[in-house]
Chain A
Amino acid sequence: MGTSFGRGGATSFQQDWQNSDCILIEGSNLAECHPVGFQWIMEAKARGATLIHVDPRYTRTSALADIHVPLRVGSDIAFLGGIINYVVEHEAYFEDYVRLFTNGPSLVSEDFKDTEDLGGIFSGLDEEQRSYDPLTWQYEGEEVGAASGQREQLYEERNEEEGGEKSSGHRPSVASSGRGESHGSGGAAAHPNAVRDETMQHPRCVFQIVKRHFARYTPEMVEQVCGVPRDLFVKVCQTLVDNSGRERTSAIAYAVGWTQHSVGVQYIRTAAILQLLLGNIGRPGGGIMAMRGHASIQGSTDIPTLYNLLPGYIPMPHAHQDDDLEAFLKGVSTDKGYWSDMKGYLVSLLKAWWGPAATEENDFCFDYLPKLTGSHSTYETVMAQLDGKCKGYFVVGENPAVGSANAKMQRLGMANLDWLVVRDFGLIESATWWKDGPEIESGELRTQDIATEVFFFPAAAHTEKNGSFTNTQRMLQWHHAAVEPAGDARSELWFYYHLGRVIREKLSGSTDEMDAPLLDLQWDYPTEGTVAEPSADAVLAEINGWDADGRPLASYEQLNADGSTVCGCWIYCGVFTDGTNQAARRKPAREQSSVAPEWGWAWPANRRIIYNRASADENGKPWSQRKAYVWWDEEQSKWVGHDVPDFDPSKSPWHRPPAGSRGAEALSGEDAFVMQADGKAWLYAPAGLTDGPLPTHYEPQDSPFENLLYDQQRNPVRQVFARRHNRYHPNPGTRGSEAFPYPITTYRLTEHHTAGGMSRWQPYLSELQPEMFCEVSPELAEERELVHRGWATIITARGVIEARVMVTERMAPLLVQGRLVHQIGLPYHWGTNGYSKGDSANELTAISLDPNSHIQEVKALSGDIRPGRRPRGSAANDLVEDYIRRAGITSDTGMEVRGDH
């Protein structure tokens, strides 16, 4: 969403669903996974809204929907692309909105070649590098930086233009950087005025390119690719169209059912394009909600424990020759929109970290930041562990031995470490694999041969520490410590603060340049209580920041680039306004408006619906009274309404920036997408993505079906790893592919939490969902002699698991490409420890990744199923080897860049 709109957060808030006229849930089982949030969808339904659920399975969400559309796993881009085609063909798009707020009228370079021209790929593909050079995707005559995503794509060009020597051969390989596109917050570089054709008729304008690109996504094609009958598909299209426009709005909600694919980011892009064409962004009852599974997964992206980002979506710098702060900023920031102030955000962050040591003369310690040289995501890290290049590992409230793709490789990586630190409530699988993991059972590893030192530290619970979570709607909520943690249990705040303290003590007096960033680090937090817990309030105050006089800042607009302000995360600036913890605000819902602005605090600047300038027309009037949200008040000469305007409050809708303006000044009164390089939402992404400016249907890495839409089977730039334990399945139609005939998908249940660390040890939850199972249709049960409540064995080229069989009509077979297809559903919560045990679905999954987000494809794979329990001991591996042999799988299988084979 970062690339489309400028910020990677959900565009709206859960309560706002009650204002929707239609809600499309796809890639999410919201009633099951976010049950309490789902109440707002039921509110909408009670008010007459139509609920559509598109999902391979008939779930708790489908049961409450007006329309359930079963589709084949991994075919969502074809489905949504079909809706886009329908909307465009029937001229059902919201034309004024599209012209005003999107880049539909903008002209694209003559050098750009679409998948229509090149048989399923875009111009710029470098087959050897497995990556695209995105230069030809730019607008005509100018270069636009992306608000998020691959922001360093243009680093070399930009720093060369100024007459500098070109420092090295070519741009950082696109496949190798990765900018957390799925969650970014952006605003990027661009000339304020793209060449535009306001009639949107020019053959090279974005709108026409989009129209041509999706023309082949016809209802007939959708039927063939997705297995969705034409009538049902058209009904969905018409329902969305009927519930969008001036008077009505539709919302879309998704979850990891969309992100966990080798084209996952483009799934979300397809939804973004659709919502923009229908005029549903920035308006009440509209938007796209990303439903996240962990309490603070949004927060851990905003303040990222992610390799490619610094707090507030500032990119981590890549290594370049003679890099310095100015060159870095030139490469990644923008001329227009709020990203042009990136220097202020970054310098204030460097001041928060290195205090007085960070000075104008030394580039504010920019050199202290370690530099990237490619992708260093968790999956590359596993490869580095296997190769002996990464020897120490902290696992903190996560359980990769169960929850990450290819669980075996996760464990083998850990078995190759010098030391491992696991912090959790109990002995999760990632802490005990060396004594009781599947490789011990199979004899592949012997405990007495494993050199890894393992530390287990008990973690404190949320009731034992102060701190804030950022929920799925960008809202920070503070939780207060009720008691101190017992025994040796400690918070992560405690652990990292004291670890840093001990490390700094050990290094004190060191004059080694290598240690300077640690010794200069600002690390004096007050501690409290009997365990010397650092003050979470003090940390939040630093995140918020203060001015030269130490006064808490109220807004990121106060941040300076001269080192006079301190701010640990610019998008959270304002959460400690007036020295008060805004995240701890708890004015009861009944005492305030339905937007509830005084409950917690949402970034940016406490806005609950972002891009809300788009809720009003070119004259600043609401598109309709029914959907009024913020509007221009002539008398007061400012934007007013139900929420904090996501716009300069005093900038009139008719404002046109003087020539030569920069930054926020360069935004016109119509530029509602204030973080974007051109102030517009992007139907077409001229920059920022690694795998194309438009979404394109490619088949999953492991798919039993050929790509009917193009000669190109898979995303050409997906990340794949030819490793012994990470074999891919043969292409459909080739020899051996029949060994893995069934599409498989993975999912979650209400009663368990992700990899189980917080649920399989709880008696209530374990009793509610006691063991691993698989869901199959009665037809598949008959075909493979599977018995309800009996056992089944499921096999891929990576592993074999067993599961209890649940035969259910909820798994309806679909007619795809003239073939009846049976899909298999697998919850992924289980492992060998805890009260509730079972095999892990991730024993079956491969590491194949989306090239933008580096998220693994575990929502669509293929495999085989047979009755009975799996073999034990080494016989289990023998069975997998047997399949690999029969299918003729080698290290080359599924590794191609181009073509259908």
Chain B
Amino acid sequence: MVKSVCPYCAVGCGQNVFVKDERVVHIEGDPDSPVSRGRLCPKGSASLQLTTGETRRLEVLYRAPYASDWEVIDLDTAMDMVAERVLRTRREFWQWDVEGKRVRRTMGIASLGGATLDNEENYLMKKLYTALGAIQIENQARI
């Protein structure tokens, strides 16, 4: 059993995640939590379906320009393709100055999302994007 936190809303209910044969088999409320005292709402209670349900996709998909459907591609290939595109677009839309003022940035790349992610993930995102010079980084705090 490992200690966890409900991934849905910001109440932050405690979860106990039960593992058997390296698979998650059950998720329930953590009675130790001072916030939730063992309770979970319907969403929190559906966490097992969220994490182990069959609607989860486990392959990387790629849709080529003008294509009518997806194709499955290899993860490493996909990572390399994305890195290539980031560098290309970054350069294409690079700005050193705007109206005579130094900006050192690219306006070609944007990102949306973060509120469902971990703090550590948001941290790496902001760090990498800033080093890339990308500023249009946003999340659900705007919605």
Contacts and interface: CB of A to CB of B under 8 A. Distances in A.
A368 interface: yes
Contacts of B133: 370, 514, 517
B50 A763 contact: no
Contacts of B9: 33-34, 292-295, 472, 753
Given A353-B127, A453-B65, A467-B119, A426 B79 contact: no
A398 B140 contact: yes
B119 A476 contact: yes
Interface in B69-126: 69-70, 75, 78-87, 89, 91-94, 98-126
Contacts of A473: 12, 35
A397 B117 contact: yes
B19 A762 contact: no
A443 B80 CA distance: 34
Contact of A467 (B58, B121, B143): B121
B51 A463 contact: yes
A462 B140 contact: no
Contacts of A761: 53, 55-56
Contacts of A502: 79-80, 83
Interface stretch (A277-285, A796-804, A813-821, A851-859): A851-859
Contact of B53 (A392, A480, A500, A763): A763
B118 A421 contact: no
B141 A496 contact: no
Contacts of A15: 34-35
Contact of A381 (B66, B99, B110): B110
A188 interface: no
Contacts of B112: 378, 381, 393-396, 398, 400
Nearest to B69: A435
A464 interface: yes
Given A458-B56, A500-B128, A453 B64 contact: yes
A569 interface: yes
Given A295-B5, A482-B4, A543 B119 contact: yes
Contacts of B124: 492-493, 496-497, 500, 534, 539
Interface string A360-401: 000000011111110011111100110001111111111010
29 contacts: A36-B39, A296-B118, A298-B10, A299-B119, A306-B142, A369-B130, A370-B105, A370-B130, A384-B136, A390-B93, A391-B92, A425-B56, A451-B65, A453-B64, A467-B120, A469-B7, A471-B5, A472-B9, A476-B119, A478-B5, A488-B75, A490-B75, A496-B125, A517-B131, A539-B123, A588-B31, A594-B34, A753-B8, A759-B43
Contacts of A173: none
Contacts of A376: 135-136
B60 A370 contact: no
A503 B84 CA distance: 8
Contacts of A514: 91, 94, 104, 133
Interface residues of B, number: 118
Interface residues of A, number: 169
B91 to A, nearest CB: 8
Contact of B110 (A393, A464, A586): A393
B110 to A, nearest CB: 5
Given A14-B11, A307-B135, A469-B10, 17 more contacts: A36-B11, A36-B40, A39-B39, A294-B116, A299-B118, A303-B123, A396-B117, A396-B125, A400-B112, A454-B63, A472-B10, A479-B3, A514-B94, A539-B124, A751-B42, A753-B43, A835-B55
Contacts of A457: 60, 75, 78
Interface of B: 2-15, 17, 19, 22-24, 27, 30-37, 39-47, 49-51, 53, 55-70, 75, 78-87, 89, 91-94, 98-128, 130-143
A750 B99 CA distance: 49
B55 A425 contact: yes
The prevalent SS among residues of B at the interface is mixed
Contact of A391 (B24, B89, B128): B89
Residue of A380, A435, A473, A514 most packed against chain B (CB within 10 A): A514
A450 interface: yes
Interface stretch (A117-125, A128-136, A315-323, A655-663): A315-323
A496 B137 CA distance: 14
A589 B19 CA distance: 24
Contacts of B118: 296, 299, 465, 467-469, 479, 491-493, 536
B89 A419 contact: yes
Given A455-B61, A506-B83, A764-B42, A390 B136 contact: yes
Contacts of A853: 142
Nearest to B96: A514
Nearest to B133: A370
Contacts of A517: 130-133
Contacts of B14: 477, 586
A389 B93 contact: yes
A452 interface: yes
A426 B55 contact: yes
B31 to A, nearest CB: 8
Contacts of A368: 104, 130-131
B37 A305 contact: no
B114 to A, nearest CB: 3
A300 B123 CA distance: 9
Contacts of B103: 319, 370-373
Interface string A316-346: 1001110100000000000000000000000
A291 interface: yes
Interface in A835-868: 835, 853-856
B131 A296 contact: no
Contacts of B140: 293-294, 297, 300, 398, 403, 754
Contacts of A487: 58-59
Contacts of A503: 83, 86-87, 128, 132
A286 interface: no
Contacts of A855: 142-143
A455 B24 contact: no
A499 interface: yes
Nearest to B18: A482
